Amino acid sequence: MDRFDTDRLELLDRMADRVPELDLDRQTIDWTELDDGHQALLVNGGGIDGGDGAYFVNAADDPHAFGSLAPIIEGYISCGVIRLDGSRYITAVQLDPLAQQ
């Protein structure tokens, strides 16, 4: 097993434990490599195109979720951390550059 497979399996295991309500079988998923070499799971496009998707990555011991906060705060994107106990918190919020066009 190579480093990419290990990174992906670790992320999927953490997500299964910490985000059980996310049924990946009902979503469109794909993998991509980030600039730092880590693997990211794109869910419903990953939100990269300004859509409703999000992407998940490992950061230290916690998976991080990046994506749209809509409809909570329209036009903003966020970064959230999902801890081992299942608690979640937002670490950053910024204006969505695509929403300003």
pLDDT at 31: 94
Q: Where are the domains positioned within the chain?
A: 3-100
- pLDDT of 100 reads 53
CA 70 from chain center: how many Å? 15
Q: What percent of the chain has pLDDT over 70?
A: 77
- Average model confidence (pLDDT) for the chain? 79
Cα angle, residue 49 at apex, residues 48 and 52 outer, rounded to 5°? 80
| Confidence (pLDDT) at 97 | 58
Q: Which of 5-14, 34-43, 67-76 has the highest mean pLDDT?
A: 5-14
pLDDT in tens, 13-31: 998 988 888 888 988 899 9
What string of DSSP letters covers the chain? --HHHHHHHHHHHHHHHH-TT--GGGS-EEEEE-TTS-EEEEEGGGGTTSSS-EEEEEETTEEEEEEE-TTTSTTEEEEEEE-TTS-EEEEEEEE-GGGG-
List Cβ neighbours of 13 (8 Å cut-off, separation of 6 or more).
none
Q: Which of 47, 54, 45 is nearest to 22 (CA)?
A: 54
pLDDT in tens, 39-52: 999 988 877 665 67
How many other CB atoms are found less than 10 A from the CB of residue 98?
14
The pTM of this model reads: 0.73
